[in-house]
Amino acid sequence: MILFRRLLGEVLRSERMRRGMTLREVSAAARVSLGYISEIERGQKEASSELLGSLCAALDIPLSAVLSRVSDAVALEEIALGLVVDEVAGAVGESVPPVTDDGDVVAAA
pLDDT above 50: residue 108: no
CA distance 85 to 98: 11
CA distance 75 to 92: 7
* pTM more than 0.85: no
pLDDT tens-digit series, residues 27-64: 999 999 999 999 999 999 999 999 999 999 999 999 99
Q: 104: alpha, beta or left, given left = phi > 0 and alpha = psi -120 to 50?
A: beta
Confidence band for 109, pLDDT divided at 50, 70 and 90: very low
CA distance 79 to 34: 34
pLDDT above 70: residue 65: yes
Confidence band for 81, pLDDT divided at 50, 70 and 90: confident
Task: Work out the percent of the chain whose per-residue pLDDT is above 70.
Answer: 76
CATH says 4-67 is which class? mainly alpha
Angle among Cα 60, 63, 68 to the nearest 5 degrees reads 120
Query: What is the mean predicted confidence (pLDDT) over 52-79?
Result: 96
- Domain range summary for the chain, segments of one domain joined by +: 4-67
Q: What pairs with residue 82 in β-bridges?
A: none
E-assigned strand segments in 1-109:
none
CA-based radius of gyration for the chain = 16
Give residue 2's pLDDT: 83
Query: What is the mean predicted confidence (pLDDT) over 12-34?
Result: 97
